[in-house]
Amino acid sequence: MYIFLIKLFINFFNILPESLALKIGRGLGLFWFYIIRFRRKLVIANLKKSFKEEKNENEIYKVAKDNFVHYGTCMAEFLRLPKESKEKLKDKIKVKNLDNAKKALLKGKGLMVLVGHYGNWDYLSTGQALYNVGAHIITRQATNKTVNLYWQKIREDKGVKFLPDSNSIFSILRLLKKNEVIGIAFDQHVGGHQGIKTKFFGLPCYTMRAPTLIAMKTGTPIVIAYNYRDENYCHQIEVSEEIPLDILDDPEETIRTNTQKYNDLIEAFIRKHPSQWTWIHHRWKP
């Protein structure tokens, strides 16, 4: 049933002109915002505490509305993805400073690419495959197994390679030893022993410690890949320079200091494009 509905939506969005398909996607986002309202309060609350001294109520409301329009647009773009050719995708996905990743790989210790859930992250993962980066993306599974398999297949058909988000440490280390690239979504809550207390938008949060810990143990360089959709619906990806690892006397403080640095860099990017981040996520859990 789920597969039938997904195929139906894919076929529907692909028989339409692209401009109309995206317009419908934006409309669905507005329908979610005004009518369904699922997690609308959470988005507005997250925006208020993140921009409490920078944006007034009207500005917060507009960013929240644009945020839901963004989700609807992402859905329309994703549903059109299976039938997009490589040539057309290259017109839609542009990568800047890819040489920063290639330079880091010259060290021969692999590369960790930290990313956030900004822009259309499915286009971000597709873009790295399109430009032959060959990253293995650590991804969470969708709750519904049928939906998850089809969702994953759509991306795999575009050359994206995945690793599960649990019990993958040995696979990650083997790949890094082979000088491979690992893509890590870094902007979500990670609690328990896997997380470390940091700040994000000046608010206490828990962030995954694994990238810094791996870098400390293996010397693997880290870069951040940023992604946003511009006014022409082109997806702009930019790869940062290698981020130096600060080594302190206390290993725990080394992890905290560097993890905070990554948070700060991602936060700075989100501030430039606030409507294109996943404010529906419970980022600031106790």
- Helix, strand, coil: what percent of the chain each, to 5? 55, 15, 30
What secondary structure letter does DSSP report for 274?
G
Domain residue ranges of the chain, discontinuous segments joined by +: 1-83, 92-279
pLDDT of residue 27: 98
Cβ partners under 8 Å of residue 178, min gap 6: 110
pLDDT (tens digit, 0 to 9) for every residue of the chain, 286 residues total?
667 777 888 888 999 999 999 999 999 999 999 999 999 999 999 999 999 989 999 999 999 999 999 999 999 999 999 999 999 999 999 999 999 999 999 999 999 999 999 999 999 999 999 999 999 999 876 666 776 777 888 899 999 999 987 778 999 999 999 999 999 999 999 999 999 999 999 999 999 999 999 999 999 999 999 999 999 999 999 999 999 999 999 999 999 999 999 999 999 999 999 999 999 999 999 8
Report the candidate in 238, 130, 236, 109 with the shortest Cα–Cα distance to residue 182.
109
The residues with which 126 forms a beta bridge, in sequence order, are: none
Q: Give the count of beta carbons closer than 10 Å to the beta carbon of residue 119.
A: 24
Looking at this protein, which amino acid is placed at residue 168? Answer: S
The residues with which 162 forms a beta bridge, in sequence order, are: 137
- 25: which 2 tokens? 């996607």
pTM for this model (two decimals): 0.94
Query: How far, in Å, CA of 11 to CA of 101, rounded?
Result: 36
